[in-house]
Amino acid sequence: MQPLVSVLICAYNVEKYFAQSLAAVVNQTWRNLDILIVDDGSTDGTLAIARRFQEQDSRIRILAQPRNSGLIPSLNIGLDELAKSGMGEYIARTDADDIAAPDWIEKIVGEMEKDRSIIAMGAWLEVLSEEKDGNRLARHHRHGAIWDKPTQHEDIAAVFPFGNPIHNNTMIMRRSVIDGGLRYNTERDWAEDYQFWYDVSKLGRLAYYPEALVKYRLHANQVSSKHSVRQHEIAQGIQKTARNDFLQSMGFKTRFDSLEYRQTKAVAYELLEKDLPEDDFERVRHFLYQCFKRTDTPPAGAWLDFAADGKMRRLFTMRQYFSILRRLIKNRWQARPDPADKKTG
């Protein structure tokens, strides 16, 4: 018999998209589903759509909140309910405005059933971009584009110190994650998924199914479009934590306050003094390569300092070395003031 999968959907004022999104969940080829909808005090027709579907499908449960409390509280209300009910060997989450492929759950849970070391698994995304609706993200992402991700845990984990590698609305996790008490961090507003999946990555192995199984809708009312500045600020704090956690796991003394050139170089010097296994050495070298490529506004002579340092030439591959050097030169050039902006006496 198929293991029960609980699907959590948090919805707020998405009547324009919700019926299509909910139909995609109801019509999954994986039939043993428990579908929990948390309506976060919607003032449009969202709740009515949920109730109409519920009348036709007994697998649907609805938690209707009397007032809007925000996405993070709604997510935690849903996770608390799933933990309390004990339903679902697997917990899936998708957004109320996206469209899951019919075999989204079947393909991912099928892989997780074969490999018990995977604690959570997602899939690639296909961009569903609305035009002329004021959405910033849609200006930069082509409709129909495929957003792929690394498929193996080590490669996914290597991204966390620099950005969120998780397609939140495709992920399916084992219920042990929520039974252990993990919830979305209310202090990480607008980047709660980044923090949550970074915490999950410490509990077991992550993976991706190498196929676009969810269509990700870009529109003006979504969180990532309306709160992109705040989202970026919170994400930077998570990245700093992930970088220092990585260094600590590798036994390094140096810590990052920011991606500053001299701090990155200090870690590079420490690496040269360590006797690490080959795989760990390569992981740290790749980590440092990414750090140098993202160096915060480097001092004027950083590129000259790097070019003249024989230890850096020995540490990195030729491709990495020249890529870092080009980036330092480019960053310094971009940081130079425009002469046209100077006041004349």
d(CA 89, CA 2): 10
Strands 33-39 and 205-218: unpaired
pLDDT beyond 90 at 306: yes
Mean pLDDT of 31-59: 97
pLDDT beyond 80 at 22: yes
Largest separation between any pair of C-alpha atoms in the chain: 82
Q: Please give the pLDDT value at position 136.
A: 52
Confidence band for 303, pLDDT divided at 50, 70 and 90: very high
Confidence band for 298, pLDDT divided at 50, 70 and 90: confident
d(CA 35, CA 57): 10
Q: Please give the pLDDT value at position 343.
A: 42
d(CA 49, CA 27): 16
φ and ψ at residue 176, rounded to 5 degrees? -60, -25
Q: What is the DSSP letter of 337?
A: P
Determine which helix (DSSP H) or strand (DSSP E) holds 242, and give its type and residue range: helix 228-249
Mean pLDDT of 205-234: 78
Instruction: Output the pTM of the full model.
Output: 0.86
What is the token pair recorded at 205? 């192995």
Closest by CA position to 129, among listed 170, 98, 101, 102: 98
Q: Please give the pLDDT value at position 140.
A: 58
pLDDT beyond 60 at 264: yes
What is the token pair recorded at 98? 């996206």
- pLDDT tens per residue across span 86-141: 999 999 999 999 999 999 999 999 999 999 999 999 999 999 876 554 455 555 55
Lowest-pLDDT choice from 85-89, 142-146, 252-256 = 142-146
CB-side neighbour CA atoms (13 Å) of 220: 5
Q: What percentage of the chain carries pLDDT values higher than 90?
A: 77
Q: What is the CA radius of gyration of the chain?
A: 23
pLDDT beyond 80 at 304: yes
Determine which helix (DSSP H) or strand (DSSP E) holds 205, and give its type and residue range: strand 205-218
- pLDDT tens per residue across span 58-80: 999 999 999 999 999 999 999 99
Q: Please give the pLDDT value at position 293.
A: 93
